[in-house]
Structure 1
Amino acid sequence: MRIAVPNKGRLHDPSMELLEHAGLHVVDGADRKLYANTVDPEVTLLFARASDIPEYVSDGAADVGITGLDQVREADPDNVSDLLDLEFGRCRLVLAAPEDGDITDVGDLAGKTVATEFPHIAERYFADTGVDPDIVEVSGATELTPHVDMADAIIDITSTGTTLQVNRLAIVDEVLESSVYLFGRDDVLDDPKVEQVVMALRSVLSADGKRYLMMNAPEDRLDEIRDVMPGLGGPTVMDIAGGDKVAVHTVVDERDVFETINEVKELGASGILVTEIERLVD
């Protein structure tokens, strides 16, 4: 199975880190290569431009791919499906116009010109809104086009909105929320190896922000301790030989660790240990 991964840019490193944490370690290096083997002999990484990855998956060069949802929606292949939101690379595709201009609503763009690097997304968006502007495809510096009389408005990616503000552009509407997704070709979705990869990546995401909490607790105060432990599905309790205490293990959100430790300590818990979790399989 081949996984298409962004070969550079802001999506490359987080994608590789996620795959590494999921156990798909690269065994022969990935620098300046088109392919890289992993510790799983059945899984190979294929490196490509983020915008080309949907086509690679659709055409069969790769079975699954990792790239922004905006790239998938722009390519709009009819034989791929979203598998998993990987929860990084979040951004928005927005419609924006000069902040001191007269375009404050989508309807104001009838008969106007809109510049974008995402013409197919723009076409579908305007079809849904019933507005029919002239869409001009550009390959960069989209935010400058209204100021050089190339367009009346733009559809472009923004993360913080800073670039839009610097270029005196105001958001008129939100077109698409995007983050990085794992997606796959429809004819491989039931492949056991694809299911294993999805499970491995999901287990890393599930463990994010979680901590494993262990302690010895007085058996006669176990009910009280259970009440203050915000665990996933309740704590696991195990007998300790030769004593009146039990071992209590649970998974808690990192933000709850400080308060939970203080509360169980007051209830007589001891030997409290907190560890990070690399993967959490439901």
Structure 2
Amino acid sequence: MRIAVPNKGRLHDPAMELLESAGLHAVDGADRKLYADTVDPEVTLLFARAADIPEYVSDGAADVGITGLDQVREANPGNVEEMLDLEFGRCRLVLAAPEDGDIQSVADVAGKTVATEFPNVAERYFEDQDVEVDVVEVSGATELTPHVEMADAIIDITSTGTTLKVNRLAIVDEVLQSSVYLFARDDVTDDEKVQQISMALQSVLTADGKRYLMMNAPQDRLDEVRDVIPGLGGPTVMNVESNENGDKDGMVAVHAVVDERDVFETINELKSVGASGILVTEIERLVE
């Protein structure tokens, strides 16, 4: 099973960190290599340009890919399935035009020239909008094209909008919201190993921003404890071993998963209902 991963750029490190958090550590490194084995003998990493990964998966050079949704939609292979939003590399593909120009809406672009690195996405977008334009493909510096009379407007990637503002361009419409996705060729999406990879990555995403709470609580105040920490499907309650005197002191052990942002307030509320020995730990993976 081969997973195609961006070989460099802003997507490479987060993709590798996510794979390692999911347990798929590269065992022989990834620097200046095309391939890397992982701790799973059935899984190999293949490093490629982010824009080429959809084609690698479609053609069978890899079975699974990790790259931006914008790249998948631009390549538009007919035999891949988007499986999981990996929730990083977020950006937008937008239609933009000179801020002091006469293009204020999508309709205003009719009959004009639009420059973009995403001609296939652009063509489909304007077809959906029922607007006829001349789409010109460029390989970089898209935001400069309206100022050198190459185009009247552009379709380009933006994260914060700063580059557009610096180049005196205003957003006219949003074409696509993008982030990094896990996707697979449609003839392997049901494969057991592909499902295991998807589940492992999902477990890391699910655990993000969560904390595991363990504590002792008075058994006669469990209802109050439950009101404080409903947890993931409710807290887990277990008996406490007897102390050296054979007395359990009417206490039970309570475990629960809570949102990290709620930990501070939750601990104070738990103390107020008699909880003690409260321990908070990070969660690396969480399978629901």
Question: Same fold per TM (> 0.5)?
Answer: yes
The separation in 2 between residues aligned to 1:51 and 1:241, in whole angstroms, is 58
Q: Partners in 1 of 2:276 and 2:82 — Cα distance?
A: 46
Aligned length: 282
Partner Cα separation in structure 1 for residue 190 and residue 107 of structure 2: 44
Which stretches in structure 2 are left out of the alignment for 5+ residues? Answer: 243-247
Moved more, 164-173 or 234-243: 234-243
Q: Counterparts in 2 of 1:44-59, with a 5 A limit?
A: 44-59=44-59
Rounded to whole Å, the distance in 2 between the matches of 1:230 and 1:108 is: 53
Alignment of 1:5-16 (within 5 A): 5-16=5-16
Q: The residue matched to 2:226 in structure 1 has which SS? A: helix
Segment of structure 1 superposing worse, 2-11 or 235-244: 235-244
Instruction: Point out where structure 1 has 5 or more consecutive residues left out of the alignment.
Output: none
Matched AA of 1:258: F
Q: How does 1:91-240 map to 2 (within 5 A)?
A: 91-240=91-240
- Indicate the residue corresponding to 1:31 in structure 2: 31
Partner of 1:73: 73
User: SS at 1:131's partner residue?
Assistant: coil
Q: State how far apart, in whole Å, the 1-side matches of 2:188 and 2:21 are.
A: 23
Looking at structure 2, the residues matched to 131 and 118 of structure 1 have their Cα atoms a distance apart, in angstroms, of 17
Q: Find out whether 1:258 has 2:273 as its counterpart.
A: no
1:269 aligns with 2:249: no
TM-score (norm 2): 0.97
Output the CA distance in 1 between the equivalents of 2:34 and 2:240.
54
Secondary structure of the corresponding residue to residue 87 of structure 2? coil
Q: Distance in 1 between matches of 2:141 and 2:171?
A: 17
**CA shift for structure 1 position 190:** 1.1
Partner of 2:83, secondary structure, is strand
Matched with 1:278 is: 284
In structure 2, give the amino acid aligned to 1:63.
D
Cα deviations by residue, 1:52-97 (Å, 9 ceiling, x for unpaired): 0000000000000000000000000000000100000000000000
* C-alpha distance 164-234 of structure 1, shift in aligned 2 (>3 A): same
SS at match of 1:51: helix
Report what 2:245 is aligned to.
none
How far apart, CA to CA, are the structure 1 residues paired with 2:188 and 2:217?
Answer: 49
Runs of 4+ deviating beyond 2 Å: none
State the SS of the aligned residue for 2:28: coil
Counterpart code for 2:272: E
Instruction: Give the C-alpha shift of residue 110 in structure 1.
Output: 1.1
Q: Percent identity?
A: 83
2: CA distance, partners of 1:274 / 1:241? 21
How many Å apart are 1:230 and its aligned residue? 3.7
TM-score, scaled to structure 1: 0.99
What's the CA shift string for 1:187-238, capped at 9, x where partnerless?
Answer: 1111100000000000000000000000000111111111111411110000
Q: Aligned partners of 2:23 and 2:267: how far apart in 1?
A: 31
